[in-house]
Amino acid sequence: MIAGKRILLIEDEFLVSAMLEDELAEMGALVVGPAASLAEGLALARAGGFDLAVLDWNLDGESSEPIARALQAAGVPFAISTGYGVVPKGYADCPVLAKPYDPRDLVAVLASLLPPG
């Protein structure tokens, strides 16, 4: 599934971030970050070096759309997590996880973003 994959984690809620980091690590993934702010997340996204990403759409009141654009430009598949349920139309091909969600659902969504094989 996601074992051995490097996953960029962008989440501004510490407890959620810690829970996701634990779940991803338990599944054998290597977590990059986590990043809790737009600036931090954008720097990590631009640096690259990961296979997938989890992107909290609202980072302390700021849209993480610049990070999403950087991920798209780099060809990195990502899942969006949001407590608001709505993201811009340009991201309709990205899976959206409505908060709160089970971390196991995130693992399944990330696995679905990987190419078959």
* Rounded-to-integer distance, Cα 3 and Cα 43, Å: 25
At residue 108, φ and ψ (nearest 5 deg) are: -65, -40
Q: Where are the domains of the chain?
A: 6-104
pLDDT at 49: 95
Contact 78, 35 (CB under 8 A): no
The fourth-level CATH superfamily of domain 6-104 is Response regulator (3.40.50.2300)
The pLDDT tens digits for 49-94 are 999 999 999 999 999 999 999 999 999 999 999 887 677 788 878 8
* Rounded-to-integer distance, Cα 12 and Cα 60, Å: 7
Averaged pLDDT for residues 10-25: 93
